[in-house]
Amino acid sequence: MKISTKGRYSLRMLLDLAEQKGFVPLKDVAERQEISKKYLEQLVTLLSHSGILRANRGYQGGYMLAKEPSQITVGQILRLTEGGLCPVACLENDPNQCGRSSRCQTLPVWMGLKKVIGDYLDNITLQSILDGEIK
């Protein structure tokens, strides 16, 4: 499993916003994180529709988290940006659509890996990262 730029940059942007007070202009986040403003604009569209970000237009406008950093997990962010956390394609649908699933000897391995990944990422919040709790 490889996390794309979209997932990595979304996490960096949200951590940046979590450290700020009030609405923050996207250009400020772009400068601090060394990510193009154009790319961040694509990310905020996705994250705003999901309820993670709030937007405010006009003078002193910008973006801020819609929830407390302790209520947003890395798992939520990556599921939104990556489309899921499945290590193999056959686990993307529930129930499993693979014709071999009932006799696949490796399926339990991939199911276990999916669980470990999900459990790990769902227990990391933006706040726990900011607090330096992740080692």
Mark 105-130 as b/e (b = at least 16 C-beta within 10 Å): eebeebbebbeebbeebeebbbbebe
The CA distance from 110 to 86, in Å, is 8
Q: What is the pLDDT of residues 94-125, one digit of tens each?
A: 777 788 878 889 888 998 999 999 999 999 99
Residue bearing tokens 């986040």: 29
Range from 58-67, 71-80, 91-100 carrying the lowest mean pLDDT: 91-100
Check residue 24 and give left, alpha or beta (phi > 0: left; psi -120 to 50: alpha).
beta
Please give the model's pTM, rounded to 2 decimal places.
0.89
Q: What is the pLDDT of residues 33-47, one digit of tens each?
A: 999 999 999 999 999
- Model confidence at 135: pLDDT above 80: no
Alpha helices in 1-135 (DSSP H): 5-18, 26-33, 37-49, 74-82, 107-122, 126-130
The overall average pLDDT reported for the chain is 91
> What burial class does residue 48 get, using C-beta atoms within 10 Å of its C-beta: 0-12 exposed, 13-18 middle, 19+ buried?
middle
53-74 mean pLDDT? 92
pLDDT, position 1: 73
pLDDT, position 20: 93
